[in-house]
Amino acid sequence: MKKTIYISFLFFFMITVMPSCKKVENQPRDLNTLDLVFDSQDLNATLAQQFLNNIYNYLPTGFNRISGDFLDAASGDAISSLANTPISYYNNGLVSSTTNPDGYFSNSYNGIHQINIFLANIDKVPVPTANPTRTITWKAEARFIRAFLYFELLKRYGGVPLIGDKINGLNDNLQLSRNTFAECVTYITTECDAVKGQLNLEPISATNLGRIPRGAAIALKNRLYLYAASPLFNGGGFESDATLKVLTGYPNNDPTRWQNVIASAEELINLGVYSLVQSGNAGYVNIFSQKQNSEVILAKQQINDFTLETVNAPVGYTVNNTQSAGRTSPTQDFVEAFPTISGLPITDPLSGYNAAAPYSNRDPRFNAIIFYNGSAWLNRSGGVQTFDGGLDRPNITSVNQTKTGYYLRKFLADNSTSSSYSAQSHNFVYFRYAEILLNYAEALNEVGRTEDAVQQLILIRKRAGIQAGSGSRYGIATGVNQAGLRTLMQQVDRRIELSFEEHRFWDLRRWKIAPTELNKTLRGIQITKNANGTYTYQTVPVTTITFQEKLYHMPIPYNETVTDANLKQNSGW
Amino acid sequence: MRNKSLLKEIAIIISICASSLIAVAQKKGKIVVKNDSSLTKIDPLILNKVNFPLNIAVLPENTTSSTQAVYTSSLVKQPVSNVLNALTGRLAGLNTQQITGQPGFDGVVLSLRGRTPIVLIDGIPRQLTSTDLEGIESVTVLKDAMATAMLGVRGANGAVLITTKNGVRGVQQISLTVQSAFQKPLSLLKPLNSFDYATLRNEAVANELRVNPNFNTGLRFSDADLTAYQSHSDPVGHPDVNWYNQILKSSAPLNRYSLNVSGGNKTVRYFTEVEHLYQDGLLKTSDINTYNTNQYFSRYLIRSNVDIDITKNVSAGIHVFGSIANENEPGVTTATLFNSFLTTPNNAYNIYNANGSYGGNTTFRNNLQGQAFSSGYQQNYSRNLIADFYVKRTLDEVTPGLYVKASVAYTSSLSENINRSKPVIAYQQTISNTGDVSYGPALTPTSAQINTNLISGTTGLDGLGQFRQNYFELSTGWNRTFNNAHDFNVAVLANSDSKSDGANLPYTIQGISARASYTYKKKYIAEFAEAYNGSNYYLTDNHFKYGFFPVFGLAWNIANEDFIQRLSWVNTLKLSANFGRTGNDNPGYFVYLQRYNNAAAPYFGTSNGANTSLAEGTLANPNITYEKADKFNISLQASVLNNRLGFTVDYYYNKFSDLLIQRGQNTSLIGNSYPNENIGRNQYSGMEFQLSWQNPKSGDFSYYASFNAGFQQSKVLYANEVAQPYDYMQRTGQKVGQAFGYVAEGFFQDQADVNNAKQNGVGVVTGYIAQPGDIKYQDQNKDGLINQFDQVPIGPKGPYITYGADLGFKYKNFDMSFLFQGAANYNVYLNGNSYWEFQNNGFGQAYEQQLGRFTSTNTAGATYPRLSIGNNSNNQTFSTFWYRKADFIRLKNLQVAYTLPIKYAKAVKLSSVKLFANGVNLFTVTSLKGGLDPEVYNGLYPIQRVFNFGITAKL
């Protein structure tokens, strides 16, 4: 009996005490769940809007984004001031499917995934009667960004798997095949057309700056049509394998594709809300340092700071205890592309070019884009010193300096006469009106309307501050033919106007001139300061770059082709 | 086949041990062999009881588990602050790795049979291993399934069980130990002097120019520079500072004081202790500060274990442990300082300018001397408390041998980081043409000293931050022998272990465990143990996911068989085997919930405001569960020849399943990160050996020798691997953590060699332009390209071997012991700015190994590729060239002790006085070249060689 009591007592104790009966929080309530993010009770849609905000994070970044270098430092217009940085891989053959400095694959698909979650859930959130189009606009923004992310993939890799509106999970079959180039073009342009009427109407309010405007959808469509009509994608693929060729471009050539470019450019121009920022050199600088202006259609909104100055200004300037890194060295080849103020190339005897004073009397944009010997900066007497032994090219063992005699000035705020840097706007521009005009001009020229094209170029040259010259041709020869204007745009107008905005790297490819433009010895300038204070300029070779055919399209990351066996690798990789 | 290679390895190990022993013997002079009446006991052979987790202790004759333990007398031979560091080399199969020697952070990382074991203190899982050594009675390593069966869902990785001392009934004993040591760095990197540095960098620039004309000639040193570096004629413009010598002392003290009192009477037994440890760091200090900027670690602790018999049937205990530890370092932190050594060449700048300010220049803004002296200080301050209580009631009146016990254990830790750092201001001194000396603007902005005190998550000295643990246990057991033949041992317990870390919800593991064994005539043992337990971070109705983990064992105590008992030379002989399932709970933090986290804040509007954003986090895994291990262990244990020779052999085969890994077929197309899923399967197998010999007590002389070795093999059985184009790329079937890389084939000897690369089946990384002196790699698939398809398993092929040898002798009052420890089939990856030259875009340090570089005149004898600036995409790729064999054997510990003859001790009213001297890490033989230490070879705070002297007085 006694035993039984003890034993039952024991078991009672164990059963009651051990699984402690306290009420506890058994699952964290401090985590946001889907119900909370897309709250069917919240008229303000606070968290849903935060979810949309994040989608903007997937928009591409720019400037010194490739391990500290500009993408354009692989386009022949510049090189990195440092040796053996990843950007050089595009020019020395070190790119591979495991090593691609500008791999972009997962960023786009991550963005698309978040966008699809947003699109699938946002309708749960109530719409305020005061703002009945809120959800419609938000969805259009998300869809535009999705189209943009696909475009970023398309220009790098060619056709990629289109996910549609599907939200993939752990149990979904992801052995997806690539869609063809044509399918991707259709998808992106259809999306652009579908959302353009729903996006934010210009003018965009100061508080909404950076939210996708209507013009962006048209500009994206315009750029895509331009790429699609260009030689590389318009039936000019180099692949011998037809199944690959259809993935990376149209299999056939169809010159009428240029009409899409013309139509979409005119669509944007006819909106009448965008225009070139005027007033010469200052205007050109202001495009990039004024947050809101008439020219920029869409830009990556970034915090005001002076990081860009610190990274790119000449190495002789130390501001706030930080030595400027002078990371980018524009080449002599690029410098020589600038016409003189007359708009004529420096090789033209009538241009007014003086080899003894090579930097004077040039296209005013030269001053805004390039730091050359004598550029005014931070109030230093005599300006930038890139002569041998100068403050910005000291040739000492502890400083990585310019390799070409130039530094990159574009995008920096005008600090010519300030004593120090101040936080300035540095938004990275995706689309601006000048690009649309250049796209328009290119298409006009290609369909034979060369003179119409010239008129577009003149708008830009005029804004740049080039003198009108005889017949108000702004340096463009009277009676220039299609081929001549094409070369002029490729080597001068588009190259200079859109320099370092991540165009030329892709332009050289779509024009199929990369094999000549990226297979050469790039040059720099060596400047000797003479005893009498004058300078002697000598052009010197700096580095030899190479291009391989396979670099027309980027390699699909190796990890992706092994995890998805249906994902065909591009030719040559 | 495998056994053959195993045997071969054993033979090698034994020969290495033997030869080292002889070497030591020769060094120490002739060993006099005489008979001795007293014997230094070999701790592993003291077979009293086996400690299991959760305070279950059983007699070895009643279990099928094979465990091994070390005891106080061995542990106290090294003046280490962390008890785990005293285990190195002493337990077969337990591998320790020391990552850094930084005082306060120098605890070793354990691995047992390929996994990281759980640490238990007095039976309960907890991590406070920074503790005294005198208060530790034993450390037991629990390797097989039976030993950890009652831990259930956390038993899979094995356990290390630390048992503290309890008082014993008897006269009060007071013991005071005072020891004082000095520590010297075991090995430091060997940077080049300024002249060599400048010469080599010029050479590297010349190499770059060959591929890339007009590379950046500015990086060249002029002949005048070289002359000045060589003559040391211009210390301001051409300094030559060996920063290690400049910043570090050659030795640092370590002091330890420990006082304990133990004893007990009929009803109360106690062991109490106070200890203080002060371990100084190697940094020099300056009188300019009123505070200490040296790295140091200081700790006070108390321990009080009291057990009381309240009535005849009721006993209780209160075991309390408390410690206060304080760690100090310079404001920039010691880790930063040691990293600065790697980025600052000897010619970087002069230490002090002529006006006494710190030197520097725009490239090197952070004066190292300034970082050491003038960057303020940071302190880690931690307080730990452990309090265990139990009450036990024997219930013999119900049935003899029955008891019931309740325990509560409480652990609390708080670790603060006090930051009082400030910027170091350096100036560049320049001398103009006219000879005017000027000091450039400050290279770093001045700001006030920081003053913060952070208590955060899992930081701090013990990695605990804020940590609380509540443990409850209720157990009942019954031990009884019937008719001297049938021996029953039964224990059932229920426990709940709840931990809170920072702001997270408590992580609770709870369940019921049981153990039962039956022994027949002390010959045949059948044993069963189980746990039914689980934790609360899962998607189930009550949020607990429980598992059932049974383990079965059988043993045959052959020595107790009559036919063996007749053989008087056999003392013990036992064959035991057990098999069962254990678990490993690793649920993450509620990963079954799909959560939406804050992401980077994008900007909108002209006012440039940041906007909060939310994104879907890593994909949720609603199916997550605990990992499982099916473990088999068989063990043969014997001691023969009057217990003189003892040996144990263990073989194990453990199969882990449901391991949490990210699936191999993880495509970016899904658009998010894959969670860890229960899909991996690994297998670990191996053998462990212990062999010991001791002579019988006779005369003045006695000696002992004991060896242990562990052989560990592993294999990935399943990892959801992608379809590899070549068999040799398969990860599945290889060792767990197998390294894959290129196979280096030496250097290109000349241009002809470069040109013939393809036909010789070698090459450089695709796209790289080779030049003589570059490393050539084997082209595995013969496609003429070197890329991911040429990466094969590299590194050691055989089992990973760790071993130790403990040798000692005693002659009259004098005794001496040696502990050797080593590892074989062990590789390290030499890389980064602690081994490669001119990293950090060409401004990094360079080292003595670069003197053996390839040059046009040093081709065949070159030991290092041609020099380059910054990253070299071919030469600095992971390959057999950098993944070096680092097998080693260390004389880990040597102790010499002299016990004063009792009559002298009595004269000063002491019961015994012992003088001792010991050393740690006295010498190392390693296959790693260049004077690098095989454990800390990467420029982190070095491991110390310690010379320690002390005295123990007992009252």
What pLDDT does residue B129 have?
A: 83
What pLDDT does residue B12 have?
A: 46
* pLDDT confidence band for B464 (50 / 70 / 90): low
In chain B, pLDDT over 70 holds for what percent of residues?
92
Give the separation between CA A74 and CA A65, rounded to whole angstroms.
Answer: 13
- Who among A106, A168, A563 is closest to B722 (CB)? A563
* pLDDT confidence band for A394 (50 / 70 / 90): confident
Q: Does A176 contact B at CB distance below 8 Å? A: yes
Residues in chain A: 573
Residue B791 in 3-state DSSP?
A: coil
Q: What is the mean pLDDT of residues B642-658?
A: 93
- Who among A320, A540, A559 is closest to B214 (CB)? A540
Q: What is the DSSP letter of A524?
A: E
What pLDDT does residue B218 have?
A: 56
What pLDDT does residue B17 have?
A: 40
Q: What is the mean pLDDT of residues B193-211?
A: 90
CA atoms in the 13 A half-sphere facing the CB of B897: 24
Listed in sequence order, the residues at least 6 apart from B936 whose beta carbon sits closer than 8 Å to its beta carbon are: B98, B99, B100, B101, B186, B187, B942, B943
Q: What is the DSSP letter of A5?
A: H
* pLDDT confidence band for B213 (50 / 70 / 90): low
Q: What is the mean pLDDT of residues B579-583?
A: 95
Q: Does A96 contact B at CB distance below 8 Å? A: yes
Both tokens of residue B352?
């002090």
pLDDT tens track for B298-343: 999 999 999 999 998 999 999 999 999 999 999 999 999 999 999 9
Give which of B350, B354, B365, B347 is closest to B437, Cα–Cα: B354
**CA of A322 vs chain B CAs: smallest distance (Å):** 8
pLDDT tens track for A330-346: 999 999 999 999 999 99
CB B150 within 8 A of CB B56: yes
Model confidence at A425: pLDDT above 50: yes
Q: Does B666 contact A at CB distance below 8 Å? A: yes
Q: Does A83 contact B at CB distance below 8 Å? A: yes
What pLDDT does residue B13 have?
A: 44
What is the C-alpha end-to-end distance of chain A, expressed in Å? 85
CB B563 within 8 A of CB B614: no
DSSP string, A37-68: HT-TT-TT-HHHHHHHHHHHTTSPP-SSTBTT
Q: What is the mean pLDDT of residues B2-23?
A: 44
Give the separation between CA B563 and CA B293, rounded to whole angstroms.
Answer: 70
Highest mean pLDDT among A281-290, A481-490, B1-10, B60-69: A481-490
CB B493 within 8 A of CB B512: yes
What Å distances lie between residue A217 and A146, B46, B750, CA to CA?
Answer: 11, 82, 58
CB B284 within 8 A of CB B248: yes
What's the predicted TM-score (pTM) here? Answer: 0.88
What pLDDT does residue B460 have?
A: 52
Count contacts between A and B (CB, < 8 Å): 267
In chain A, pLDDT over 90 holds for what percent of residues?
83
Is-cis flag, bond preceding A203, omega within 30? yes
Which residue's structure tokens are 């890994």?
B661
Model confidence at B450: pLDDT above 90: no
- The more confidently predicted of residues B586 and B28 is B586
Model confidence at B492: pLDDT above 60: yes
What pLDDT does residue B27 have?
A: 36
Give which of B467, B508, B516 is closest to B487, Cα–Cα: B516
Model confidence at B14: pLDDT above 70: no
Residue B661 in 3-state DSSP?
A: strand
Return phi, psi of residue A369, to 5°: -100, -35
Q: What is the mean pLDDT of residues B69-80?
A: 89
Mean pLDDT of chain B: 88
What pLDDT does residue B446 have?
A: 77
Give the separation between CA B371 and CA B358, rounded to whole angstroms.
Answer: 10
Searching chain B, which residue's CA lies closest to the CA of residue A289? B606
A40 burial type by CB count under 10 A (0-12 exposed, 13-18 middle, 19+ buried): exposed
Question: In sequence order, what are the beta bridge partners of B381?
Answer: B326, B416
**CA of A53 vs chain B CAs: smallest distance (Å):** 5
CB contact under 8 A, B670 and A53: no
**CA of A344 vs chain B CAs: smallest distance (Å):** 31
Q: Does A565 contact B at CB distance below 8 Å? A: yes
What Å distances lie between residue B465 and A85, B104, B302, B417, CA to CA?
Answer: 40, 15, 21, 9
Lowest-pLDDT choice from A298-307, B558-567, B882-891: B558-567
Per residue, the 3-state secondary structure of B615-631, as one string, reads EECCCCCCCCCCEEEEE
Model confidence at A494: pLDDT above 60: yes
What pLDDT does residue A371 have?
A: 96
Q: What is the mean pLDDT of residues A92-109?
A: 90
**CA of B114 vs chain A CAs: smallest distance (Å):** 28
H helix intervals, B871-913: 902-907
**Amino acid at site B323:** S
Model confidence at B276: pLDDT above 90: yes
CB contact under 8 A, A563 and B543: no
CB contact under 8 A, A83 and B599: no
Per residue, the 3-state secondary structure of B460-518, as one string, reads CCCCCCEEEEEEEEEEEEEEEEECCCEEEEEEEEEEEEEEEECCCCCEEEEEEEEEEEE
* pLDDT confidence band for B709 (50 / 70 / 90): very high
CB atoms under 10 Å from CB of B446, counted, come to 9
CB B795 within 8 A of CB B821: no
Both tokens of residue A118?
């947003």
Give the separation between CA A94 and CA A80, rounded to whole angstroms.
Answer: 15
What pLDDT does residue B909 have?
A: 85
H helix intervals, A351-402: 364-369
**CA of A468 vs chain B CAs: smallest distance (Å):** 35
H or E stretch covering A149? helix A134-157
**CA of B512 vs chain A CAs: smallest distance (Å):** 9
Residue B583 in 3-state DSSP?
A: strand
**Amino acid at site A64:** N
Q: What is the mean pLDDT of residues B88-95?
A: 92
In chain B, which among 607-626 make CB contacts under 8 A with chain A?
607-608, 610-616, 619, 621
Give the separation between CA B773 and CA B744, rounded to whole angstroms.
Answer: 12
What pLDDT does residue B32 have?
A: 32
CB atoms under 10 Å from CB of A381, counted, come to 5
Q: What is the DSSP letter of B727?
A: G
Q: Does B11 contact A at CB distance below 8 Å? A: no
Return phi, psi of residue A76, to 5°: 85, -15
Give the separation between CA A215 and CA A298, rounded to whole angstroms.
Answer: 8
Model confidence at A102: pLDDT above 70: yes
- The more confidently predicted of residues A568 and B445 is A568
In chain A, which among 126-155 make CB contacts under 8 A with chain B?
none
* pLDDT confidence band for A470 (50 / 70 / 90): confident
pLDDT tens track for B495-548: 999 998 877 889 999 999 999 999 998 899 999 999 999 999 998 888 899 999
Model confidence at B695: pLDDT above 90: no
* pLDDT confidence band for B41 (50 / 70 / 90): very low
Give the separation between CA A409 and CA A24, rounded to whole angstroms.
Answer: 61
